[in-house]
Amino acid sequence: MSIINTLKSRFASALSPLTTNTGPLLEMIRSSQDPKFGDFQANCAMPLAKQLGKSPRDVAAEIVKHLDVSDCCETPEIAGPGFINLRLKDDWIAARIGQIAGDNRLGVTAADKPRHVVVDFSSPNVAKPMHVGHLRSSVIGDAICRTLRFAGHKVTSDNHIGDWGTQFGMIIYGYRNFLDAAAYRKDQVAELARLYKLVNQLSDYHKATAGLPDLRLHLQQRQAELDELNSNVASADRKAKKKLKTQRKTVEDTRSMIASLEARVAEIAADAKLLAQANAHIDIARLARQETSKLHAGDEQNQQLWNEFLPACLAALNQVYSRLDVQFDLTLGESYYNPMLADVVSDLRSIGLATDSDGATCIFIDGNDAPFIVQKTDGAYTYATTDLATIQYRRHELNADEIVYVVDKRQSEHFNLLFRTCQLWGLENVKCQHVSFGTVMGNDGKPFKTRSGDNVGLESLIDEAIARARLVVDENDDRREQPALSPDERARVAQIVGTGGIKYADLRHNRDSDYVFDWDKMLATTGDTATYMQYAYARICGIFRELHVDRRTIADGQTTILLTCPEERALALQLTQFDYAIDGVLTDYRPNQLTSWLFETAGKFSAFYAHCSVKNAESPELRQSRLILCDLMARALSTGLALLGIETADVM
């Protein structure tokens, strides 16, 4: 158990004579920000005193009286209005480091109740190349799988690819009408992607031309209302001002929507070939949808095309995954569940959960305006139906205890309805969680796109990361008197720095926030980056090389750890808390809990290294103890980064 959790359980006993509701009070036991106040601080006496109507210092004294921490802490101190400050005994830290040094799990005990967790992540819609939008799910999901496994859980990573959606109808339509056979022979996936884009573009063109007149009218009306509001808003009425603001936003949004549709139309109109294609395929959107319906209904030719397209699409995905070192135990796409959908709907109907509504089959959930549609009026099943069948399969066939969905936060409404439906359906003994994340933004504060407004392809992004990383690696190695790396080694290091940089930059942010994609920050050799950690790791390996000490034999289990200066003690204390960082990741699936721990630890290591000489330590015992700390630091870096899917190299 991590030291913080040990302290919490000791406090739980100490608090129990005073209150029954200890939960929130235990949350108030934290690491102190300032060593002046010890290593940990408990601020629970103040709120408890309020509840009990006593003085906080008296309550603090009462808690301390019952608190048994003498094995690990110095005598607790009561400070200020009633803070309880705890300082770990140096002996305790030293002994704990001794244990961790001899443990390849760095003090993380395996879960006593292992769960089987299915992690649904990456899950792109196939037949379109992967783009930057797929990065977050792939990277966050992979880190979660690795950390769960490390903590002793059983994990099934499942890539729930969209291989049965409307994009196939579009590609089939494109294939029949616009195929460039030579290009298809040369690069099947690229040609399919072109067809997808073309059919999309032509459908959008018709949709835009059809919709624009109404939208312009709509804008006129909203503008007139706005003018009216403007002339009446003389009074400083807050409500009126608010209304004005909303109206202004409506007008602006409509205007920008019109502008973007006009741009789409103009793009086609400016290109004679595209315009001719558009005019020759006026009904393209409906016809493409029809191809999808035919595929779903088992049409032989469409089925055959689907079988022809899919392997190439999967191969293209796998290429990206192998570059990112992301693995899946299963890739059961949406198509896999197709045969189960009819039963799902009839089951939901038979228990009265799903009902008819305007010809569609829907589930109405209290408190939600939008119904959960499981079968559309044309008979088609939906994304929702597939997800319901998937949960049933994961629970009953895979025996999952828990399912984690690493999916964009824009789908939270869908998952909310999905999980509520499952409970009502009787699938309550599997815990489902939507691990949501925000958008990758460009420097302009808008979703990250290429200059021409296209999605940034994931392959080209990785290429660029590696190319940029190569410059960093070259520069670093060229600066040495004697370069340490051959061209092959430089290429290998550039690869781990490049992909590690992208991953770390993603993982270090709170997953719910959007973040700005910034090459320079991401590959900086100082700061909160993978590059910094990777170089720190190699530097520690370098210390051992220089001193001709074999890292593999250093943690001998005999050496007493000596904590002679504050920086040394601070580093050791930090290194005892790797287990707490891992708990932090798994509590709410937040890999940034681990990146912050790594960054903090690296900072403590720098301070230690600046103040405490390893080579010229005052005694052989101290040198040995310091080498153990160095080795432990290196292992914390490599193990921590590995859990994030990031590699390290001994020489960089």
- C-alpha–C-alpha distance, residues 72 and 87, integer Å: 9
Least Cβ distance, residue 165 to ligand ARG (angstroms)? 8
- Closer residue to ligand ARG, CB minimum distance, 98 or 162: 162
- C-alpha–C-alpha distance, residues 123 and 328, integer Å: 11
- Closer residue to ligand ARG, CB minimum distance, 123 or 335: 123
- Closer residue to ligand ARG, CB minimum distance, 136 or 160: 160
- Closer residue to ligand ARG, CB minimum distance, 11 or 121: 121
Query: Which residues of the chain form contacts with ligand ARG (CB under 6 A)?
Result: 120, 123-125, 160, 162, 387, 390, 405, 407
Contact 535, 525 (CB under 8 A): yes
- Please state, in angstroms and as integers, the Cα–Cα distance from residue 111 to each residue in 60, 72, 148, 209, 217, following that order: 34, 23, 9, 59, 62
Contact 459, 435 (CB under 8 A): no
- Closer residue to ligand ARG, CB minimum distance, 125 or 436: 125
Least Cβ distance, residue 126 to ligand ARG (angstroms)? 9
Least Cβ distance, residue 125 to ligand ARG (angstroms)? 5
Amino acid letter for position 227: D
Least Cβ distance, residue 164 to ligand ARG (angstroms)? 10
Least Cβ distance, residue 299 to ligand ARG (angstroms)? 23
- Closer residue to ligand ARG, CB minimum distance, 189 or 469: 189
- Closer residue to ligand ARG, CB minimum distance, 128 or 222: 128
Amino acid letter for position 446: K
Least Cβ distance, residue 187 to ligand ARG (angstroms)? 23
- Closer residue to ligand ARG, CB minimum distance, 76 or 141: 141
Task: Count other C-beta atoms under 10 Å from residue 488's C-beta.
Answer: 8
- C-alpha–C-alpha distance, residues 332 and 324, integer Å: 20
- C-alpha–C-alpha distance, residues 352 and 358, integer Å: 17
- Closer residue to ligand ARG, CB minimum distance, 114 or 457: 457
DSSP 190-257: HHHHHHHHHHHHHHHHHHHHHHHHHHHHHHHHHHHHHHHHHHHTTS--HHHHHHHHHHHHHHHHHHHH
- C-alpha–C-alpha distance, residues 512 and 224, integer Å: 39
- Closer residue to ligand ARG, CB minimum distance, 100 or 117: 117
- Closer residue to ligand ARG, CB minimum distance, 419 or 605: 419
Residue 362, helix vs strand vs coil: strand
Least Cβ distance, residue 48 to ligand ARG (angstroms)? 44
**In residues, how long is the chain?**
652
Amino acid letter for position 180: D
Instruction: Specify the DSSP element, H or E, that contains 376.
Output: none
- C-alpha–C-alpha distance, residues 80 and 10, integer Å: 22
- C-alpha–C-alpha distance, residues 96 and 103, integer Å: 11
Least Cβ distance, residue 547 to ligand ARG (angstroms)? 51
Least Cβ distance, residue 133 to ligand ARG (angstroms)? 8
Among 478, 501, 431, 536, smallest CA distance to 644 is for 501
Sign, CA dihedral 236-237-239-240, equals: negative
- C-alpha–C-alpha distance, residues 167 and 508, integer Å: 33
Helices (H), ranges, 283-382: 284-296, 300-324, 334-337, 341-350
Largest CA distance in the chain: 87
Least Cβ distance, residue 94 to ligand ARG (angstroms)? 48
Cα torsion through 54, 59, 65, 69, rounded to 10: 160
- C-alpha–C-alpha distance, residues 6 and 559, integer Å: 25
- C-alpha–C-alpha distance, residues 458 and 317, integer Å: 10
- Closer residue to ligand ARG, CB minimum distance, 162 or 640: 162
- Closer residue to ligand ARG, CB minimum distance, 394 or 508: 394
